[in-house]
Structure 1
Amino acid sequence: MTRSFVCALLLLSAVLPVAARDAGGTLDAFHQAAADADLSAYVSLMTDDIVFLGTDGEERWEGEEFRRFARPHFESGKGWEYRPVSRNIAYSADGSVAWFDEMLDHDKLGQCRGSGVLLRDGQHWKVAQYNLSVPVPNELLLDVVEQIQEGQDAEKESPDAEKVSELEQSAAVPTSCRKKRHKTNRPAGC
C-alpha cells in the first residue's frame, strides 16, 4: 500500500466516528429492538418521518402513523423478529446517506427481504425508509398473482368492500384511518 492511501484511510477513520460509519449496526439494533418489543429503542433508530412499507401492498405508513401501528404490538410484548442473514450497504460520497438491501429469516414467513435508506444524524444513523418484502420464486409468481387477483375480485363483490370503498372516497375520512390490511386484520392507525 502506498503511504498516501494509508494516510487517507486514517483520515477517513478520524473524520467519521465508528457510530457514523456503522449503518449495519443501526440496522442490527433496529431488528433487535423490534424482536425485544422495545418501542423506545425502536423509535430512536428511525427518522421522525420514516416511511415503512410492509409485506402487504396496502401497508405504507409514515412517521407517527407507523409508530401508532407498532405501539400496541410492542406494548403487548409482541414485536417482530427478522434475523439478518446477509446485507449489502452502500454510502453516498459525503457519508450522509446509506442505502441497503438485506436477506432476513422469519419463523413464519421464511426468507424475507428488507431494503431502504438510512440518514446520518450527527454521529448516528437513522432509518428513513424500510421496505419489507417476501421474495417469490419466479416459478411460483404466476400462481401467486392469480391468487391475489382472485382475492381482489372477491373483495369487489363483497358488500363490506363496497362500504369501505365508499368511505375511502369520502374526503371526511383521514388517509390514516382508511382500511388497511395486515396480518392482524385490524385497521392501522385508527
Structure 2
Amino acid sequence: MMHTTLKSLFLACCLCLANLAQAAGADPALAKQVNAFVDAWHDDAAHARMAYFDKMAPDGVYIGTDRSELWQRDDFKAWARKYFEGKTSAWSFKATRRNVYTAGDGKLIWFDELLDTPNMGHCMASGVIRKTDKGFEILHYQLSMAVPNEIAKQVTALVTKAEAAPVK
C-alpha cells in the first residue's frame, strides 16, 4: 500500500513538473502575436495615441519606476493624459529583448523585456497579458530602471537623500 502511494505521489509530481515545463516558453506563433501586441502598445505611447490605454484591461495595473506609481488603468490614464493630449510622443520604450511565457491553454501570458529608453536609459519590465475572445489585454505591467550592480550603492544613497528631502 505504501509503495503504491509513493508511486502515485511521484507520478503526480512528474505531472506537475510537466505542466511547469509547458509554461517555460510560449508557442512561437503565440509569442509572435504577443510581441506584435506589446510592440504596438509601446508604439502607441511613442506616438501619444490614447489607444495605449485601450490595450490595458479595465482592471489592469501599471507600476512605474517611482514608488508612488501604482496605477489602476483609469487612474493611470487620467494622470498620463497630460503626456498624450496634443503631443507627438508620450514616452518611448524600445524592446531589445523579450521573453514570452504562457500557461497551458495560452489564455494567460507573461513576459519580461529589456528596454532602451531615451529618458531613463536601460529599463526592464515584466507584464501579464490575458487572451480574450476580442484579443489581448494587459493585466499587469511593471517597469524598473536597470541599475548596474557596480553603482547600486551610489544610486541607493541618491534615492535615500531624495526621499529625506522636504517635499517642494
Which of these residues, 66, 70, 76, is aligned with residue 80 of structure 2? 70
Partner residue in 2 for 1:61: 71
What percentage of residue pairs aligned between the two structures are identical? 34
Structure 2 portions without partners, runs of 5+: 1-26
Which portions of structure 1, spanning 4 or more consecutive aligned residues, are displaced by more than 4 angstroms?
Answer: 18-21
Partner residue in 1 for 2:34: 23
- Judge conservation of contact 1:19–1:124 (CA < 8 Å) in 2: no
- Judge conservation of contact 1:55–1:133 (CA < 8 Å) in 2: yes
The 5 Å alignment of 1:38-57 reads 38-39=49-50, 41-57=51-67
> Shift of the alpha carbon at 1:72?
2.0
Partner residue in 2 for 1:111: 122
Cα distance in 2 between the residues matched to 1:138 and 1:37:
33
CA deviation string 1:68-116 (max 9, x = no partner):
1222211031311111111001001111111110011111211111111
Q: Specify the SS of the correspondent of 1:32.
A: helix
Higher strand share: 2
CA RMSD of aligned residues (A): 2.0
The 5 Å alignment of 1:90-101 reads 90-101=101-112
> Shift of the alpha carbon at 1:44?
2.0
TM-score w.r.t. the length of structure 2 is 0.76
Aligned residue pair count = 140
Q: Specify the SS of the correspondent of 2:105.
A: coil
Structure 1 portions without partners, runs of 5+: 1-15, 161-190
